[in-house]
Amino acid sequence: MLFSRTCKAAVVTLFVFKVREAKITEIKINEARENYRPAAERASLLYFILNDLNKIDPIYQFSLKAFNVVFEKAIQRTPPAEDVKHRVINLTDEITYSVFVYTARGLFERDKLIFMAQVAFQVLLMKKEVNPVELDFLLRFPFKAGLTSPVDFLQSQGWGGIKVLSDMDEFKNLDSDIEGSAKRWKKFVESEAPEKEVFPKEWKNKLALQKLCMMRCMRPDRMTYAVRNFVEEKMGSKFVEGRSIEFSKSYEESSPSTAIFFILSPGVDPLKDVEALGRKLGFTIDNGKIHNVSLGQGQEIVAENALDVAAVQGHWVILQNIHLVAKWLSTLDKKVERYSIGSNEDYRVFMSAEPAPTPDAHIIPQGLLENAIKITNEPPTGMHANLHKALDLFTQVPWDDLRYLFGEIMYGGHITDDWDRRLCRTYLSEYIRVEMLEGEMTLAPGFLVPPNSDYKGYHEYIDENLPPESPYLYGLHPNAEIGFLTVTSEKLFRTVLEMQPKESDAGGGTGVSREEKVKQVLDEIIEKLPEPFNMLEIMAKAAEKTPYVVVAFQECERMNILTNEIRRSLKELNLGLKGELTITTDMEELSNALFYDNVPEFWTNRAYPSLLGLGAWYADLLLRVRELEAWTTDFALPTTVWLAGFFNPQSFLTAIMQSMARKNEWPLDKMCLSVEVTKKNREDMTAPPREGSYVHGLFMEGARWDIPSGVITDARLKELTPSMPVIFIRAIPVDRMDTKNVYECPVYKTRMRGPTYVWTFNLKTKEKPAKWILAAVALLLQV
């Protein structure tokens, strides 16, 4: 009995001891878990950034399973440390860089900076090292509209941004400092690479993000470089080096369950790397261990048989251009998944496909993309790299190849756009001529046609004589690069803004919720939205249906369709926000558009081409309404017509010809438009012409109009789209058209050009038209 009691007491004591020990162990585990939490939080953040990349292109798909593989390998590669704190820092750094490398090799060059910036911004937000309000300014770039810049080195929009910044405590007096020290700021702003220069006065002590905010106002064209420098400063130089990874390294990460997916670019064959590696490892087409199937009609069964054999015998299967067999892709997805388990360890699948031109056209199944190692192969950029790339395609005496390349492949029916064909014809006429062989001729400014040499000598000539990369090499004005870089910067910030987590403080640290922000924008639009045009009243005013009156009717009807849709969709969303209607997909898309300052797609479908953000677009719409209201009061043709204000400017230009044809009884198909650029601005005009029309509101890109001499001339640096004087347009018979010393200048609605083509205006020039063709000179209705 005593022994039994003693045993029970011992058991109880042991139990109590074990419970205490378990609690101590639990505390230690919790402490260890908390120590490693920063590494886990960083990994979680990175995965959700990866998961959002499909907003840029749906071909960017990543699974949690694939991410875990990268995560575990990063842990294995992390160097040891004596204490936990340094171990966690090493883990966090290695996880971040491993995920970056894994992801970046599958992104196009144009998207890599977006990814780098998003990683940097989100990491710094998590560490509370950036101010959300300042980041929101950088991404959105709110500016005070309607202001005139008091200094000549800042555009009005940039000055409007400076004024918004100056309202923040950290940027107080920035506007007055710029005005008071204009000379010092001018030197900084107009430097070649201001992102490398020191900011004037005490502004040089501002934080890196604050300097980005100021730089965005002053030099938007340099923001891609500035953001790259920011990423390098905050994350390390290895994140911006941009070195390509050897294919063999990517192959080491593949397995029977992890395919390699090549995202194709024009003019690049990535599969030569597969074949080269295969030869080293004993896999070739000749020995039957590589099955190379180029997908197309009837090849699906061949590909299926290849997969069946390869999975059992450990072969490689190359499936090229899988985007060409849309209906078979679900079968391929299932087959690849089936053989991902239990196959021969040497079995590998390599696939290639082109990215879809639009998200709606994307057809590659998610399963094929998200578990695969994605690799992009793009052609080299820049004149230097492309010249070497072109030379690498030839042998020492390639005359037959050259004749076939120029005559059949490059220009033989492959270019369908008339303006692109004109450009190519101009290049050929400028370069392929007798002077190439019989005299000195420059292929680009400062780059003479090389003398006779051998294959190696031409490579050396390029290295020694080609001037530094610049727009001049392509016949373009330096403004072309400024414009391109500005657009790239805008796209970068817009994309990063749209990738911000919805759960974050949507107002950018202002304390305003996402829903409140949307409601605020909604109310502002509704408040200013004009009433529809009363078409019965307007038609009753017109005594005669002239071509101009018909144009006015059509424009009013189109405006009614647009404003009615704006009113309907906003009222519907308003009810949804109040909880009186269920939020639909369309309402969600409208809400997102209002929040991100985008023009909703179902508004643009009823509107006109425009690249403006929602705020500027709506202000522009109200101006268009005002123009129509003034015109339809008595249908008298305005003194000068705002050509950009039309949904369909072609209809107005056609109306000019129709009016002249009726008046003079000329056949319409024998007429054309005569374009005369005046020396006056809109404010100088007092009455409309007796025939034809004055038009205003056009801008020139690629050059400028010299008012004193009345001809096209070289653009001034940083004047990307100088405005044109008033233009006098009238109709004349075709045989009276002056075609000497003129440049046939295309007119487009927006800088996107292409599908926004309106008309061709013949403009006077003292230079050869070829100069302006190569400089891509055009007139734009909206900038």
Whether residue 7 lies inside any domain: the answer is yes
Domain edge (last residue) among 332, 358, 377: 377
- Tell me 342's DSSP state: S
Query: In this structure, is the dihedral angle defined by the CA atoms of residues 183, 189, 192 and 197, taken in order, positive or negative?
Result: positive
Domain match, 624 and 690 both = no
One-letter amino acid of 626:
R
Rounded-to-integer distance, Cα 53 and Cα 188, Å:
36
Residue 488 C-beta-side C-alpha neighbours within 13 Å: 21
What's the CA dihedral at 506, 511, 513, 518 to 10 degrees?
-80
Q: Is residue 158 part of a domain?
A: no
The β-bridge relationship of strands 260-263 and 373-376 is parallel
The Cα–Cα gap between 185 and 151 comes to: 10
- Give the number of other Cβ atoms within 10 Å of residue 766's Cβ: 11
Residues 6+ apart with CB under 8 A from 442: 448, 449
What pLDDT does 411 receive?
65
**Looking at the structure, do residues 272 and 311 belong to the same domain, yes or no?**
yes
Query: What pLDDT score was predicted for residue 84?
Result: 86
Same domain assignment for residues 608 and 661: no
Answer yes or no: do 450 and 418 share one domain.
Answer: yes
- The reported pLDDT for the residue numbered 393 is 63
Query: Residues 553, 535: contact at Cβ < 8 Å?
Result: yes
Q: Which long-range contacts (CB under 8 A, 24 or more apart) does 568-576 make?
A: 569/600, 569/602, 569/603, 570/522, 570/525, 570/526, 570/529, 571/526, 573/518, 573/522, 574/519, 574/522, 574/526
What residues in the chain have per-residue pLDDT under 50?
Answer: 3, 399, 403, 407, 505-507
- Burial level of 44, CB count in 10 A (0-12/13-18/19+)? exposed
pLDDT tens for 563-585 read 999 999 999 999 999 999 899 99
541 and 634 Cβ atoms separated by less than 8 Å: yes
Q: How far apart are CA 643 and CA 749, in angstroms?
A: 10
Which DSSP category does 431 fall into? H
* CATH of residue 270: 3.40.50.300
Distance CA 403, CA 300 (A): 37
- In this structure, the answer to whether residues 729 and 597 fall within a common structural domain is no
In the chain the first and final C-alpha atoms are separated, in Å, by 100
| Predicted pLDDT at 41 | 92
Task: Give the strand pairing for 711-713 and 704-706.
Answer: antiparallel
Tokens 């003398």 map to which residue? Answer: 451
Alpha carbon 154 to chain centroid distance?
A: 24
Domain that holds residue 720: 637-782
Tell whether 529 is covered by a domain.
yes
**Mind giving me the DSSP string for 364-402?**
S-HHHHHTSEEEE-----SHHHHHHHHHTT--SS-HHHH
- 193: Cβ contacts below 8 Å, ≥ 6 apart: 222, 225
Burial 231-270 (b: 16+ CB within 10 A, else e): bbebbeeebbeeeeeebeebbeeeebbbbbbbbbeeeeeb
Question: E-assigned strands of 521-670?
Answer: 641-642
Asked whether residue 446 falls in the same domain as residue 519, the answer is: no
603 and 729 both lie in a single domain: no
367, 428: one domain = no
In angstroms, the CA 613 to CA 617 distance is 6
Q: Which of 468, 501, 536 is the last residue of a domain?
A: 468
Sequential DSSP letters for 725-765: --EEEEEEEGGG---TTEEEEEEESSTT-GGGEEEEEEEE-
- State how far Cα 135 lies from the chain centre: 20
What is the longest distance spanned by two Cα atoms in the chain? Answer: 132
Phi-psi region of 331 (alpha: psi -120 to 50; beta: other; left: phi over 0): alpha
**Token reading at 298:** 């009837």
Burial of 678 (0-12, 13-18, 19+ CB in 10 A): middle
Structure tokens at 714: 């070289």
φ and ψ of 733, to 5 deg: -65, 145
* Confidence (pLDDT) at 413: 63
SS3 per-residue string spanning 504-533:
CCCCCCCCCCHHHHHHHHHHHHHHHCCCCC
- Give the span between the Cα atoms of 325 and 724, in whole angstroms: 50
Q: Does residue 695 lie in a domain region?
A: yes
Q: Examine the domain organization and report whether 330 and 347 are in the same domain.
A: yes
Supply 70's token pair: 């990268």
CA separation, residue 214 to residues 118, 123, 225, 249 (Å):
19, 22, 14, 41
> Facing residues of 290 across strands?
316
- Between the CA of residue 533 and those of 542, 628, 631, what are the distances in Å? 14, 9, 12
Identify whether 189 is part of a domain.
no
Q: Within this chain, do residues 361 and 387 fall inside the same structural domain, yes or no?
A: no
In a domain, 187, yes or no: no
- Looking at the 3D structure of the chain, how many domains does it have? 5
Distance CA 207, CA 193 (A): 19
Q: Report the C-alpha gap between 499 and 82 in whole angstroms.
A: 38
The number of helix segments (H) and strand segments (E) in the chain equals 29, 17
Is position 615 within any domain? yes
Residue 488 lies in a domain: no
CB 422 within 8 A of CB 773: yes
* CA–CA distances in Å: residue 156 to residues 218, 224, 285, 745: 10, 21, 63, 28
User: Final residue of a domain: which of 377, 410, 439?
Assistant: 377
Does 522 share its domain with 557?
Answer: yes
Residue 12 confidence (pLDDT): 61
Taking only the tens place, the pLDDT of each residue in 127-152 is 999 999 999 999 999 999 888 999 99
Burial 441-454 (b: 16+ CB within 10 A, else e): eeeeeebeeeeeee
CA angle 81, 82, 85 (to 5 degrees): 75
Tell whether 614 and 661 lie within a shared domain. Answer: no
Please compute Rg for the chain using Cα positions. Answer: 32
